[in-house]
Structure 1
Amino acid sequence: MRKIVILGGLALAVFLGGCSTTGTAGHNADDVAFAQQMIPHHRQALDMAKLVPSRSTDPKVADLANRIEKAQDPEIRQMEGWLSAWGAGSGHESMHGDDMGRLEAAKGAEFDRLWLGSMIKHHQGAVEMAKTELAKGSDAGAKDLARRIIDAQQAEITEMQGLLARS
C-alpha cells in the first residue's frame, strides 16, 4: 500500500509539473532568440514609421506607416511577455546606421523612395527571421506570430514595391 501511495504521489507531481501556468513549457532556445531579435527589429521599424508624418508627401506611404505602427507595437508587447514568462532577457537594441541618417535628412518624394526601399529590406529581414522560427522554434504562440509576420510583411513588401514602381 505504501508503494502505491508513493507512486501515486510521484505521478501527481509529474502531472502537476506539466501543467505549469507560467507559459514556459514548450519553448526552446530558438523561440527565445526569435523574440529577442524581433523586438529590436520591430522597434526600428516603429522608429522608421514615426519619421513619415513629418517627411512624406504621399498619403499612401503615411497610411502604410500607420498600419505598421499599429501592427508591430502589440507584437512587441506580446514577445516581451513571452520573454518574461520564459525567464529570458529582452533583445538588444540595434543600431540604426546610415539608412536611418539618410531617412532623417530627406523630405518629400526623395524620402518616400528611401523609406520604401529601406522598409522593404527591413521587412525582408523580418520574414527571414520568422521563417527560421517556423523551422526551428517549438512554441505554438511564437510560431503563430511568425506565420502572421510572414503573411503581413510579405503583403506589405508587395504593396511597397508597387508604390516604388509608380514613383
Structure 2
Amino acid sequence: MEAIHIPWLLKLPEQTEVIQVKECIAGLETLTPVRGRMQVTHQGNYLEVSAQAETIITLTCDRCLQQYNHRLQVDASEMVWLDESADQPDEGPLERETALEDLVETLPPQGYFQPDVWLYEQLCLATPPRQLCDSDCPGIQINDHEPGSAALTDQRWQALANLKKQLPG
C-alpha cells in the first residue's frame, strides 16, 4: 500500500479513498495475506479512517507452549486529526501531565497518511494478549510418578534433596 498525500484526498469524489487490501504487511508474520477493505475520508480538519480486515497468524499457547493458528479480524475506525504542529519536534519537558483530549493521532494537513502502518497497528492491537490454544488447555503435563521423571528435575537441586534426607524427621 502506498502512502496517501492528504491534500490529494480533497480532489477525490466524496473526498474518499477506498483501498481493497490483499497483501502481506511488513513486520506482521501471517500465514495468509491480509484481506479486507480500508476507507480514508478527508473531513476537513480530520481524517476518518476505517477498516475491515482479516488474516491468520500463528501464536504460541501461554499454557502448553504449543503453536496454533488464530484468525485475526479487525473492524476498526479512528479519527486522525490534522494539525500543523503534528510534525514539529516536542520541545516540552520529559515529564508532564497530559490531558485525555491530547491522546489522539495527529498528522500535518500537507503530510502523508500511511494506510499499511495504520492497519499494522490495528492488527497488533487485535492480537489477543492471553494466547490460549483452547479455553480448557491443561498446560504442560508433568508426571512425577514415572520412574524416569527424576531426569526432568534440575540436577542442581540434588544436593539439597540429599541434605533433606539426612535431617531428622
Smaller-chain TM-score bracket: under 0.3
Kindly name which structure, 1 or 2, has the bigger radius of gyration based on alpha carbons: 2
Higher share in helix: 1
TM-score (norm 2): 0.21
> Which one has more relative contact order, counting CA pairs under 8 Å at least 6 apart?
1
TM-score (norm 1): 0.21
